[in-house]
Amino acid sequence: MDTLVAQLQRQFRDYTISLYHQGFLDDQFTELKKLQDECSPDFVAEVVSLFFEDCEKLIGNMARALDQTGNVDFSLVGSSVHQLKGSSSSVGAKRVKGLCVTFKECCDSQNFEGCVRCLQQVDIEYKSLKAKLQDLFNLEQQIVQAGGRIPQVDI
Amino acid sequence: MATKSMGDIEKIKKKLNVLIVDDDPLNLIIHEKIIKAIGGISQTANNGEEAVIIHRDGGSSFDLILMDKEMPERDGVSTTKKLREMEVKSMIVGVTSLADNEEERRAFMEAGLNHCLAKPLTKDKIIPLINQLMDA
């Protein structure tokens, strides 16, 4: 019969794999995990937290810019999209990064409806990723509190 | 520095001294961690102008400078040109976005870079450059 630790570790492994297979995360997230060590055990959580702060700020900027009906500064929107694409690339947020590519194209072609749609999708996607990563970090905490080690997951 | 190039970066005897120039706090944290992971020490500058001031005021000497391209105050191209005018001999590696086209990358290289890498940076991208530094 599985111990609690073994069950949690299996859950953690399965959940991590699903996040990659469903396209939420890519190799860059793996690279961040490799940088985490005993000296900085919360490194990934800190980086990810900064990323989500970035998302909120940039999405706010884009929303305000798109709200200027008839006078939208698409280059301003595009600049925020570019920054978000960079941040999402740095943490391995694959779906958010992918949406930014489409979003940037809409900005470049000054497609207002396209931009609004992309903004909505980016907002949904980053919130979804935030919830999923929180679940992942909670699982890590549960494993550690149960006296176990967080397993390395090969993707 | 070790006297021969090697795959095992942990054998570096002298701490690699790196200046990381980037306006994105997220990139600064990640790049600092990468440098630490490969046995180096780092200092950061939030834009090109800060990087120039660090060299002008502190007489600092870095083995490696990681230079972001798009920054406020002074961008990576302008900063690289300025540092070379100041006779800074460090290896300067430009860090570009995939959105940058070939012409933009070439202009960045011509400003005085030794190398150009695309974001996101990883240990695997940086280690070959460190080996090159160690061979020099």
Size of interface A-B (CB pairs under 8 A): 47
Contact B29 A50 (CB under 8 A): yes
Mean pLDDT by 10 residues, chain B (136 residues): 45 77 94 93 96 85 94 93 95 85 90 93 89 76
Contacts of A93 in chain B (CB under 8 A): none
Query: What is the distance between the alpha carbons of residues A47 and A21, in angstroms, rounded to a whole number?
Result: 22
pLDDT at position B99: 64
Tell me the pLDDT of chain A averaged across its residues.
94
Residue A101 in this model has a pLDDT that exceeds 90? yes
What does the pLDDT look like over A58-100, one tens digit per residue? 999 999 999 988 899 999 999 999 999 999 999 999 999 999 9
CA distance B9 to chain A (A): 15
From the list A31, A35, A86, the residue facing B97 with the nearest CB is A86
pLDDT at position A8: 95
Residue A12 in this model has a pLDDT that exceeds 70? yes
Query: What is the distance between the alpha carbons of residues B16 and A68, in angstroms, rounded to a whole number?
Result: 49
Contact B99 A85 (CB under 8 A): yes
Is the minimum CB–CB distance between A102 and chain B shorter than 8 Å?
Answer: no
CA distance A7 to chain B (A): 32
Give domain limits for chain B: 17-135
Residue A126 in this model has a pLDDT that exceeds 90? yes
pLDDT at position B102: 87
Give domain limits for chain A: 3-146
CA distance B86 to chain A (A): 30
pLDDT at position B4: 42
pLDDT at position A20: 97
pLDDT at position A77: 95
Instruction: Retrieve residue A106's tokens.
Output: 């809409």
Residue A48 in this model has a pLDDT that exceeds 90? yes
Is the minimum CB–CB distance between B24 and chain A shorter than 8 Å?
Answer: yes
| For B71, nearest residue in chain A (alpha carbons) | A83
Tell me how far CA of residue B33 lies from CA of A37, A146, B42, B126, in angstroms.
Answer: 10, 29, 9, 12
pLDDT at position B131: 84
pLDDT at position B133: 77
Is the minimum CB–CB distance between B10 and chain A shorter than 8 Å?
Answer: no
Contact B33 A46 (CB under 8 A): no
CATH of A3-146, one of 3.40.50.2300, 1.20.120.160, 3.40.30.10, 3.30.300.30: 1.20.120.160
Mutate which of B22, B24, B26 to test chain A, going by most A C-beta atoms within 10 A? B26
Contacts of A87 in chain B (CB under 8 A): 24, 26
Superfamily of domain B17-135: Response regulator (3.40.50.2300)
CA distance B85 to chain A (A): 30
pLDDT at position A70: 81
> Taking residues A30-34, what's their average pLDDT?
94
- Starting from the edge strand earliest in sequence, which strands make up the sheet with B64-68, in order? B40-45, B16-21, B64-68, B91-96, B115-118
> Taking residues A115-139, what's their average pLDDT?
97
